[in-house]
Structures are given as structure tokens and as C-alpha cells.
Amino acid sequence: MDNDKFKKQSQEILSSFTQDPPDQVWHAINSRLDARKKKRRILLWLLPLSILAGVISIIPEQETPKNTPNNLQSLQQQSAPKADQLPAAEIAEHASGQQETTQLNDVTVQNHSNKASESYPVKTTAGKKHKLKEAYADELMQSEPENTANPIEAFQSEELPFKALSLVEPVWQSDITSPKPINRYPSVNKDTVIILTCVPQKSKPGKLISWHYSGAYSFHGTGDLEGMQLEWGFSKPINRYFAFYNNVGVSLHGGSVVQPLNLNILVGPSAALPVGQGSVYEITSAIQTAPTLLGSVPATPLRFGVGGLVRYQFYSGGNGYGVQRNQNMQTFTLRGGNYNGLSLGYRVVVGLELLNTKKNKLQFQAGFQNDTRGDVITGLGLSWQYTKQ
């Protein structure tokens, strides 16, 4: 018999070969399809939530423009007329370069006419007297004393006598020791008035500790066990973008590892003899700490954290046995092992800031953690951060 004939014969015989799969296969497919549907539903909820979060984080900026250095250029382009648009008398007057001394209080106003000196008058230190090379701001303070208390408000109410104006975010008084704010933004023309709102050093948040309260709906393992995680902690800023966060957390997860099909539970390693029917409910609880480096992506509401993990877990089955679902999703193996105890691991968190005020921050976050026992926990939740000013 040649090769082709052998193949043909095999094909013919096997083409009619069918075998009825047991009902459990369909039940398992059914359960897995349900689980997928559930996961998809969660994702479908996440999408509008993310959009909503994005909208929430954008709306306040639209209502009260945040004059951050990032949008300084656009602000200037929108609001700053060219020097030739200013009244000629004003230009001439301010170009005369009268020098006046102004006490640097909580508010510092700096002014440059189009013919101002090449050196910018921001070289000063906190508490020292500040020389303005131009009289423009001083004139402003003298002529309109009600505006000097808060030039930002004056700017917003358009009561200032000039329009060539740009506004930058509040600057820490101690930081104004160099012309950085201007040099950093070369697009700022000489005929632009820059208002720097200075904040006293003592209230600089870099020194402040924030308290964190987090809660998450989470899954333990492959998703069989559902539950939640709660966490409390504090963070201390390292610099503008990073902070160190220490915490203590608890978790509680539970679930029936057998689908409601009254399946046989087989005992390993032979896994041959059915020993009973029913479902097994597993519970894991744990206490953990996860020292984390928190970071933020500049100019976005995105936040992230990476850290180590020390976890002590308690398992409802104690150290005697554990239930493991076999690959066919229908049978289970009871296995001995050590399920209580200490483990080390890592944790990754990504978040989206929904709210950011002086004292409060609210963040939607997703976390993933894994430890040396192989326990994987994923979670979705909210984190509230409170900073006492």
C-alpha cells in the first residue's frame, strides 16, 4: 500500500469518527462565557467612567483658566497686544526707566516695557527689597490701591490699565532667586508684564505629609475569589513629581471555586475517585504593607506607583489543604500545602486623578500585585488623599 493510499484510507475511516463530549464540557464553556461577559461589562463601565473622569479633570480648567507655565505662551498670544498697540504716551512714560523700590510682599508685580533693560528684575530673595527697573507696576499700585492686594483678580476683572499681560502660576517666594521663570519661556516678550504671585516659604507643600485612604473591589487569583482591599497610609513628597507612600492594608476575598453544577471533587494526585459532591467556598484574608514610590505624569491627570510588598495571608482551609481547579474547569484537586504565612512581592498602581484641590485629591486607580506565594490580586477602586495645610 503506498503512502497516498494509506493516507486516504486513514482519512476515510477517521472522517466518520465522532465522539460525544460529556455535558460538563458545555457547562464549563457556559461558565467561562458568563465570566467573560462579566469582565466585558466591567470594562464597559470603566470606559465611560474614564471619560467622565477626564471631563471632570478638564472642566475646572476651562471655567477658571489655570495660568500655568505650560499655557503661558498661548495666554500671551491671546491677550498680549504688540507694543505698538499700547498708547504712545504710556510707552514713552514707561520707557523712561524710573527705578523704584518696592517691598516684596506676598505679591510681586514685575513689569517690562518694550524698552526695558536687558536684565530681568526677578533676581531677588525672600524678604529683601526688590528694585523694579520700571515704574509700571509701582504706578499701578499707587494709582489703583484696590488692585494691589490681588493683581490676579484685577487682571481677571480687566481693571488693569494695560493689556500686555501674562500670568504665571504662583511661584514659591524662595524659588525666585534667578530669572528662570522668564528664561524658561523665551516666548515672553519684553513688553509683557508678568505677575508672579509669591507664596511664603512656610506653606510650601513640599514639606507636608498627606494621608491616604483607599478602597478597591478586587479579585484574588484567576478571578474565582472576589472581595475588597482597604488601605491607609501617608505620603511625603520627594520632589515635584514623586512621593514616597507608606501604608498598611487589609484584604478579604472569598468565592466558590466550584461552579453550581454539583460536580464531583476528585482528589489528587491520582484524581480518579470521586469523593463527594458540592461546592467549596474559599476565603483568604491578609494584612499587608506596600511601600510605594508614587509618581505623576506632568501636565496630565495620570498617576502611577511602583513598590514592594510584604503580606501575611490567612486561608480558610488553614495549612491543611487547598482546592485547585483543574484545567478542564470541572474537576478539582485537593492538595496539601502551606497557605498561611508571610510572602514578599511587588505592586503596581496606575491612577487617574478625578479631583485635585489644595487639601483633597481623589483618584480612580487600578492595582496589580503578585507575591512569592503566587497570589495575584487585581483591583479597581478609589483613593482619597488629604493634606492638612
Partner 1 sequence: MQNEELIKACRNGERAAQKRLYDAYAPQMMGVCYRYAQSLQEAEDMLQDAFIRVFSNLDQFRSEGEPGAWIRRIVVNCAINAIRKRKMQISAWDNQPEELHPITDTDPEIKLGAKELADMIQKLPDGYRIVFNLHAVEGYTHEEIGKVLGIKPASSRSQYLRARALLAKQVNLLQQKSK
Please, what is the minimum distance in Å from the beta carbon of residue 322 to partner 1? 21
Reduced to 3 states (helix: H, G, I; strand: E, B; else coil), residue 271 is: coil
Please, what is the minimum distance in Å from the beta carbon of residue 35 to partner 1? 10
Please, what is the minimum distance in Å from the beta carbon of residue 7 to partner 1? 5
Q: Between the CA of residue 33 and those of 27, 36, 37, 68, 311, what are the distances in Å? A: 10, 5, 6, 49, 33
Angle at 46 between CA 43 and CA 49, to 5 degrees: 160
| Among the listed residues 382, 36, 44, 35, the one whose alpha carbon sits nearest the alpha carbon of residue 217 | 382
Please, what is the minimum distance in Å from the beta carbon of residue 9 to partner 1? 5
Q: Which helix (H) or strand (E) holds 233?
A: strand 225-237
Kindly tell me which of 28 and 355 has the beta carbon lying closer to partner 1.
Answer: 28
What Rg value do the Cα atoms of the chain yield, rounded? Answer: 33
Please, what is the minimum distance in Å from the beta carbon of residue 321 to partner 1? 22
- What 8-state DSSP symbol labels residue 275? E
Kindly tell me which of 247 and 259 has the beta carbon lying closer to partner 1.
Answer: 259
- What 8-state DSSP symbol labels residue 59? H
Please, what is the minimum distance in Å from the beta carbon of residue 326 to partner 1? 8
- Kind of pairing between the strands at 100-102 and 341-356: unpaired
Please, what is the minimum distance in Å from the beta carbon of residue 270 to partner 1? 13
Kindly tell me which of 32 and 207 has the beta carbon lying closer to partner 1.
Answer: 32
Kindly tell me which of 24 and 174 has the beta carbon lying closer to partner 1.
Answer: 24
Kindly tell me which of 10 and 300 has the beta carbon lying closer to partner 1.
Answer: 10
Bond from prior residue into 65 cis (ω within 30 degrees of 0):
no
- The residues, any chain, with a CB within 8 Å of residue 84's CB and separated by 6 or more, are none
Kindly tell me which of 20 and 63 has the beta carbon lying closer to partner 1.
Answer: 20
Please, what is the minimum distance in Å from the beta carbon of residue 32 to partner 1? 6
Residue with cell 467573560: 36
Reduced to 3 states (helix: H, G, I; strand: E, B; else coil), residue 101 is: strand
Kindly tell me which of 55 and 275 has the beta carbon lying closer to partner 1.
Answer: 275
| Among the listed residues 311, 364, 307, the one whose alpha carbon sits nearest the alpha carbon of residue 340 | 311
- The residues, any chain, with a CB within 8 Å of residue 383's CB and separated by 6 or more, are 212, 213, 214, 215, 231, 351, 362, 363, 365
Which residues contact partner 1 by CB under 8 A? Answer: 1-3, 5-7, 9-11, 13-14, 16-22, 24-26, 28-30, 32-33, 36-37, 327-331
How far apart CA 81 and CA 97 sit, in angstroms, is 21
Q: Which helix (H) or strand (E) holds 247?
A: strand 242-256
Please, what is the minimum distance in Å from the beta carbon of residue 319 to partner 1? 29
Kindly tell me which of 14 and 55 has the beta carbon lying closer to partner 1.
Answer: 14
How far apart CA 245 and CA 235 sit, in angstroms, is 4
Kindly tell me which of 251 and 330 has the beta carbon lying closer to partner 1.
Answer: 330
Kindly tell me which of 27 and 190 has the beta carbon lying closer to partner 1.
Answer: 27
| Residue 28 burial class via C-beta count within 10 angstroms: exposed 0-12, middle 13-18, buried 19 and up | middle
Please, what is the minimum distance in Å from the beta carbon of residue 36 to partner 1? 7
